[in-house]
């Protein structure tokens, strides 16, 4: 196996501002598995840059009274209210939202997007229930399933009188919000410009989703679809902290490759494709077109594995994209095993090594046991950052934001990038909720020390 360093085209370098920091990766050329008959994709050294500045903020919102299972009635019940018994996270975010509103209203779209996420745009309804509640509805605890409109209405009706909240949810949006917050207030670096494209309707829920991301300084670029309904995810948490998720895709679930999306992709440095997108009808066509457009414009393509059952249902489509376009992949160990078609006994280091033979940069997390970053058949062990776990939901999303942050800030050593990601994940795990708080993001960004040398890939350290 011979290694060679490649530089990005001079035309792309000309877009870099003088004070930008760029990430340098030495990727070895190797024989890739031919998953599909497609043209060979050039792998090399890519540079990414940042432009302009803006702040960031977000909040979780409380929701009151839902009595109907009809979609229109569901939406009309969404109301913003300040309650005295909200947790500290909501209070903090409320204050910071007010603080940042001035800069948000004057936001001007940048010349390029540092990161553009393409994913499912769904509103989360999160509530706490007991095991009996799940049993009465015939739901298997800890699973994620797709439901239709009638099933969603039945669950919401059963939740009538329960306390629950709504948020612009989703794994991808968690990652994008964390990244925007990490990159919003540095004194020495440009702000990281983050955007998302997806599918929402022109209904109340769609407006709610777009506004929440806007307040978090993640610009939602896709126009709302008329005469459609926005998707939702009901998240039911039991006292043992297990989460049961019911996803309703709505009627706005088609993501089209239109001129607006093509324009955004052409001005993007890193495209992140959410694995849940593969569940949407005919979306593989859009994903393929978007990835081709991104690669033709010098962007990196990252893919989130998202969910084991999603991978199993759409295995061929996953590999069509991962095998032919992906430069980075984010997965937990179970998702990585599913992608590699390995059984549950396969070690984390083994699946990381294997997957990194087909994707230049691989991130595989394994909870409290730490994580691995894989490159060209090697695996670098990243120990977990110490914390007292409170809520593990969203840990992987936060970890992915740390990887992206390290790349965009020019961190060249893989172990340093992994350490940043582990610290971000630990911060989210140590709190209630899936979103990185603004105050924590600022502290983290200030604490990170960067080494800007060329990446050095080390052999495996430690075992899982």
pLDDT in tens, 159-206: 887 777 888 888 999 999 999 999 986 667 889 999 999 989 999 999
Rounded distance between C-alpha atoms, residue 323 and residue 319, angstroms: 5
What number of other Cβ atoms are within 10 A of residue 430's Cβ? 15
Residue that is written with structure tokens 């994620």 in the block: 144
Encode pLDDT of 326-339 as tens digits.
999 999 999 999 99
CA distances in angstroms from 447 to 164, 403, 439, 444, 450, listed in the order given: 35, 16, 13, 5, 10
Distance between CA atoms of residues 335 and 314, nearest Å: 13
CA dihedral 246, 248, 254, 255 (to 10 degrees): -50
pLDDT tens track for 241-298 = 788 989 998 876 778 899 999 999 999 999 999 999 998 878 999 999 999 999 999 9
Q: Which pairing describes strands 328-332 and 361-365: parallel, antiparallel, or unpaired?
A: parallel
Measured CA to CA in angstroms, residue 221 lies from 105, 198, 453 at distances of 16, 8, 35
Cβ(54)–Cβ(184) below 8 Å: yes
Q: So what's the pLDDT on residue 434?
A: 84
The CATH fold assigned to 10-447 is 3.40.1190
Q: In what order do the strands lie in the sheet with 243-248?
A: 61-63, 164-169, 122-128, 231-237, 243-248, 144-146
Residue range 191-247, pLDDT digits in tens: 999 999 998 999 999 999 999 999 999 999 999 999 899 999 998 988 887 889 899
CB atoms inside a 10 Å sphere around CB 57: 25
What are the sequence ranges of the domains in the chain?
10-447
Asked if 286 contacts 313 with a C-beta cutoff of 8 angstroms, the reply is no
pTM: 0.77
Q: Residue 244 forms beta bridges with which residues?
A: 236
**What residues have CB less than 8 Å from 321, skipping those under 6 apart?**
273, 284, 287, 288, 291, 303
Is the per-residue pLDDT at 451 higher than 60? Answer: no
- Percent pLDDT > 90 in the chain is 49
Residues sharing a CB contact under 8 Å with residue 273, sequence separation 6 or more, in sequence order = 118, 119, 287, 290, 291, 301, 302, 303, 304, 321
Could you give the angle at the alpha carbon of 247 between the alpha carbons of 242 and 252, nearest 5°? 155
User: How confident is residue 142, by pLDDT bands cut at 50, 70 and 90?
Assistant: confident
CA angle 398, 111, 261 (to 5 degrees): 70
Please answer whether residues 276 and 245 qualify as being in contact, where contact means their C-beta atoms are separated by less than 8 angstroms: no
Kindly write down the DSSP assignment for every residue of 298-365, as one continuous string.
Answer: T-EEEEE---HHHHHHTHHHHHHHHHHT-SEEEEEHHHHHHHHT--TTS-HHHHHHHHTTTSSEEEEE
Least confident of 27-41, 100-114, 368-382: 27-41
Using only C-alpha atoms, what is the Rg of the chain? 21
CA 430 to chain centre: 19
């Amino acid at each position: 196996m011979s290694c060679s360093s490649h530089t990005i085209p001079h035309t792309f370098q000309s877009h870099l501002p003088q004070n930008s920091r760029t990430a340098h990766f030495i990727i070895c050329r190797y024989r890739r598995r031919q998953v599909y008959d497609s043209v060979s994709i050039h792998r090399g050294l890519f540079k990414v840059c940042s432009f302009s500045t803006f702040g960031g903020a977000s909040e979780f919102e409380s929701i009151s009274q839902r009595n109907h299972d009809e979609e229109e009635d569901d939406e009309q019940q969404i109301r913003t209210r300040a309650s005295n018994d909200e947790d500290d996270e909501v209070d903090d975010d409320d204050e910071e939202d007010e603080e940042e509103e001035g800069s948000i209203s004057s936001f001007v779209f940048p010349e390029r997007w540092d990161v553009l996420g393409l994913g499912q745009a769904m509103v989360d309804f999160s509530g706490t229930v007991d095991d009996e509640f799940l049993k009465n509805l015939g739901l298997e605890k800890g699973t994620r399933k797709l439901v239709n409109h009638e099933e969603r209405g039945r669950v919401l009706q059963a939740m009538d009188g329960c306390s629950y909240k709504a948020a612009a949810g989703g794994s991808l949006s968690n990652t994008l919000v964390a990244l925007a917050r990490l990159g919003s207030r540095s004194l020495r670096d440009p702000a990281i410009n983050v955007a998302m494209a997806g599918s929402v309707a022109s209904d109340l829920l769609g407006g709610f989703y777009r506004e929440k991301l806007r307040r978090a300084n993640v610009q939602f670029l896709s126009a709302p679809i008329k005469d459609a309904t926005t998707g939702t995810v009901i998240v039911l948490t039991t006292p043992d902290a297990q989460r049961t998720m019911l996803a309703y895709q709505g009627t706005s679930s088609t993501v089209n490759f239109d001129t607006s999306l093509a324009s955004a992709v052409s001005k993007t440095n890193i495209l992140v494709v959410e694995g849940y997108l593969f569940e949407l009808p005919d979306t593989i066509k859009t994903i393929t077109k978007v990835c081709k457009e991104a690669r033709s414009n010098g962007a990196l393509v990252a893919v989130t594995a998202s969910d084991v059952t999603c991978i199993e249902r759409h295995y061929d489509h996953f590999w069509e994209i991962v095998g032919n376009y992906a430069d980075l992949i984010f997965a937990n160990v179970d998702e990585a095993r599913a992608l590699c078609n390995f059984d549950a006994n396969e070690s984390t280091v083994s699946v990381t090594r294997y997957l990194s033979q087909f994707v230049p940069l691989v991130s595989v997390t394994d909870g409290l046991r730490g994580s691995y970053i894989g490159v060209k058949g090697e695996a670098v062990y990243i120990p977990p950052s110490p914390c007292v776990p409170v809520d593990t939901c969203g840990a992987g999303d936060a970890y992915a934001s740390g990887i992206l942050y390290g790349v965009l800030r020019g961190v060249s050593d893989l172990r340093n990038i992994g350490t940043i990601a582990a610290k971000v994940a630990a911060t989210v795990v140590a709190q209630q909720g899936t979103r990185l708080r603004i105050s924590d993001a600022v502290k983290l960004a200030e604490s990170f020390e960067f080494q800007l040398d060329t990446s050095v890939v080390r052999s495996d350290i430690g075992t899982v």
